[in-house]
């Protein structure tokens, strides 16, 4: 595919998304209809679509409308690409700009006719009600955080220190053309600087020496009191990333649970690759296996801390869904704390940037259940160089 054809494909996908289709469904549908597209083409189209969604309103403002073509026009301007080369109507490229489109762009173009004067301060690139929630939660940094969410997230991997050293992992990855560097956010973290898409095919990954995981998520795990825990429950385990991270740095017996057991289907394979064992529990088995020295609840949340990775999510997120999630989080707290052993730890975590899901939930829980004490809490934002996370470590009185 030519660069112009890739832009056309992105326009097609964006139009489907703006009509209500989830981004992944739109991309998958296009790929199935476009068997001629190679892996590099699919990756390029995906990058275009996700870049466009991260700054949807800014690009729509530049392009003149919330439509696939207009948003991609805005993206081309903002990224300093050559408009006449990509929008030339040749082959499968988009049609050249109309006189009306060129006239609309005149007000935002620099004299070079290739780089725009971006009115970035006009746009937060998220729903207005989310802007208000972010300003309430981070009054001094809200705009900086919003701007950070407009860029691509870094790709981080976690060292499995039980199978490899940092130097060995760096050398093994280099053999497969993957360049990394240590990331100071977490001791186990490596940041990928070259060829991130090769990781899952690399020997270091396939042999369990490294695992894909954001550095902030790794820092959250490293902050937990794991040395005092012999039996651990990852209560909202999902795919098991945090359970695997705990197993790599402690010798505790680790269990995983999720209300939707299907989400845990990959845990056995991932655990085998990492040469560890994590037992998945049904809800009915929890009481018999407990109490636990540490219960981690990485609760369902807005995911706002990771909107760089899934920018479609911020545009689909509603206030009604926000309210539902707050109720779900409260319910999880009320149920999961019963599984903590006397003197044990109860960790509430989210990948949210909003206080309503974080500090406010912990305050409400402690008011309702005074037998717990908060011994530490910390939050990370994209300004720390990672996804947004929150963790509160609570301890049950003996």
| Tens digits of pLDDT across the chain (398 residues) | 999 999 999 999 999 999 999 999 999 999 999 988 999 999 999 999 999 999 999 999 889 899 999 999 999 988 888 888 999 999 899 999 998 888 878 766 654 554 445 555 568 999 999 999 999 999 999 999 999 999 999 999 999 999 999 999 999 999 999 999 999 999 999 999 999 999 999 999 999 999 999 999 999 999 999 998 999 999 999 999 999 999 999 999 999 999 999 999 999 999 999 999 999 999 999 999 989 999 999 999 999 999 999 999 999 999 999 999 999 999 999 999 999 999 999 999 999 999 999 999 999 999 999 999 999 999 999 999 999 999 999 999 98
pLDDT of residue 173: 97
Q: What is the pLDDT of residue 109?
A: 62
Angle formed at CA 127 by CA 109 and CA 49, multiple of 5 degrees: 60
* Domains along the sequence of the chain with CATH: 3-123 (no CATH), 156-213 (3.30.70.1170), 225-396 (3.40.50.150)
Q: What pTM was computed for the model?
A: 0.91
pLDDT of residue 13: 98
Instruction: Give the span between the Cα atoms of 190 and 157, in whole angstroms.
Output: 5
Contact assessment for residue 274 and residue 211, using Cβ atoms and an 8 Å cutoff = yes
Beta bridge partners, 256, equal: 234, 280
By CB atoms closer than 10 A (0-12, 13-18, 19+), residue 161 is middle
CA dist 154 and 349 (Å) reads: 21
pLDDT computed for residue 25 by the predictor: 96
* Residues whose CB is less than 8 angstroms from the CB of residue 89 and which lie 6 or more positions away in sequence, other chains included: 95, 96
């Amino acid at each position: 595919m030519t660069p112009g054809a890739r832009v056309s494909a992105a326009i097609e996908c964006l139009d489907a998304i703006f009509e209500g289709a989830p981004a992944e469904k739109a991309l998958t549908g296009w790929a199935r209809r476009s068997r001629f597209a190679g892996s590099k083409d699919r990756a390029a189209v995906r990058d275009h679509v996700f870049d466009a969604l991260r700054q949807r309103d800014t690009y729509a403002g530049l392009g003149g409308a919330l439509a696939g073509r207009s948003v991609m026009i805005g993206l081309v301007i903002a990224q300093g690409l050559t408009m006449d080369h990509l929008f030339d109507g040749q082959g499968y490229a988009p049609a050249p700009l109309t006189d009306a489109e060129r006239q609309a762009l005149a007000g935002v173009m620099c004299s070079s006719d290739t780089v725009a004067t971006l009115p970035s301060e006009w746009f937060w690139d998220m729903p207005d009600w989310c802007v208000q929630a972010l300003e309430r939660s981070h009054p001094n940094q809200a705009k900086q955080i919003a701007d950070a969410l407009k860029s691509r997230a870094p790709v981080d991997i976690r060292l499995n220190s039980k199978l490899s050293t940092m130097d060995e992992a760096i050398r093994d990855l280099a053999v497969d053309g993957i360049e990394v560097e240590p990331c100071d956010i977490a001791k186990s973290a490596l940041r990928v600087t070259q060829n991130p898409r090769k990781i899952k095919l690399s020997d270091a990954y396939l042999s369990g020496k490294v695992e894909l995981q954001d550095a902030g998520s790794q820092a959250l795990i490293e902050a937990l009191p794991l040395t005092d825990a012999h039996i651990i429950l990852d209560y909202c385990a999902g795919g098991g990333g945090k359970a695997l991270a705990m197993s790599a740095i402690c010798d505790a017996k680790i269990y995983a649970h999720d209300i939707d057991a299907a989400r845990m289907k990959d845990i056995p394979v991932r655990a085998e690759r990492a040469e560890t064992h994590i037992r998945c529990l049904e809800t009915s088995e929890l009481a018999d296996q407990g109490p636990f020295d540490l219960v981690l609840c990485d609760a369902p949340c807005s995911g706002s801390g990771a909107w760089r990775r899934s920018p479609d999510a911020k545009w689909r997120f509603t206030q009604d869904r926000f309210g539902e999630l707050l109720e779900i989080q409260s319910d999880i707290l009320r149920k999961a704390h019963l599984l903590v052993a006397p003197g044990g730890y109860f960790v509430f975590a989210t990948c949210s940037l909003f206080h309503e899901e974080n500090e406010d939930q912990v305050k409400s829980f402690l008011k309702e259940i005074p037998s717990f004490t908060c011994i530490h809490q910390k939050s990370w934002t994209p300004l720390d160089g990672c996804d947004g996370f929150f963790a509160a470590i609570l301890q049950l009185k003996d």
